[in-house]
């Protein structure tokens, strides 16, 4: 299996490598919160000797309601992410939504992320792959809730064709649609995607979503089962995941997006300590 590297950060993900932590905020709220969250998570990962990538979205383009908070937008969001990168000294991950965003994002972002709903959008995948490859970064693709794990091979093929055969794809498991307003994670899918020669991460935060089922808003937003995040993260790491994707907030109930699915920031280090230990056991098995 391939081991992929972000050489400028001395970070590697894949077989035989440490568990990579992709973590941060669901969406950028303001620069101060982004900086504080990044510093907290970086310090925790340094104590645990885990590689860390800070994640935050500049836009949440698939909100349930047109009136829901989406984020600061591309220009202001990139400025915040660059501030985190420069001041905290960490690699950056964020979502892309349109092909025209690829160039500007690749100038700042190290791990460019294709949202699950958009993983089959050829123009977006090709533009993202070419831009981030040229910039020396990696592409993090979330497997759609509608795809079988083995069908991710078509995503990997598109990226290779777009980049002249470059190995830059990290696949992400985030659950599959299971009836109405529910998701389920098949842990066997992690191994199936690793057979494609790509590192695989688990998005434990979005895997506990209840799409369109937040009782607080009468279904005008997505609900979640925060208590399930650690359960899914632990199970996925034992099942062979090479990295974890987790979202935190100092006060999750006041988060401007997906609060029911994110974890309190002060609980990050204990959970990451557990996940590191489980990853080491799985790697030695």
Catalytic residues: 26, 60, 258
CA distance 247 to 226: 11
Q: In this structure, is the dihedral angle defined by the CA atoms of residues 239, 243, 244 and 245, taken in order, positive or negative?
A: negative
């Amino acid at each position: 299996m391939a081991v992929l590297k972000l050489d400028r950060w001395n970070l590697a993900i894949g077989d035989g490598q440490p568990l990579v932590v992709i973590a941060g905020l669901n969406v950028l709220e303001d620069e101060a919160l982004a900086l504080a969250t990044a510093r907290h998570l970086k310090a925790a990962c340094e104590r645990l000797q885990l590689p860390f990538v800070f994640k935050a979205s500049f836009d949440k383009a698939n909100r349930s309601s047109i009136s829901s908070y989406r984020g600061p937008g591309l220009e202001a969001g990139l400025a915040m992410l660059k501030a985190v990168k420069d001041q905290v000294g960490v690699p950056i991950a964020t979502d892309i939504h349109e092909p025209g965003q690829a160039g500007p994002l690749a100038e700042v972002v190290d791990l460019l992320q294709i949202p699950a709903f958009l993983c089959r959008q050829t123009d977006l995948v090709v533009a993202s792959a070419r831009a981030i490859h040229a910039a020396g970064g990696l592409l993090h693709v979330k497997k759609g809730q509608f795809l079988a794990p083995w069908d991710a091979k078509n995503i990997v093929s598109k990226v290779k064709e777009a980049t002249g055969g470059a190995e830059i794809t990290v696949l992400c498991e985030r659950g599959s649609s299971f009836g109405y307003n529910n998701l389920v994670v098949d842990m066997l899918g992690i191994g199936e995607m690793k057979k494609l020669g790509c590192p695989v991460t688990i998005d434990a935060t979005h895997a506990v979503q209840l799409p369109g089922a937040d009782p607080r808003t009468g279904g005008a937003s997505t609900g979640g089962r925060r208590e399930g995040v650690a359960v899914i993260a632990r199970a996925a790491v034992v099942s062979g995941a090479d990295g974890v994707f987790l979202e935190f907030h100092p006060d999750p109930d006041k988060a401007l997006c997906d609060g029911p699915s994110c974890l309190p920031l002060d609980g990050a280090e204990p959970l990451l300590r557990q996940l590191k230990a489980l990853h080491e056991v799985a790697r030695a098995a």
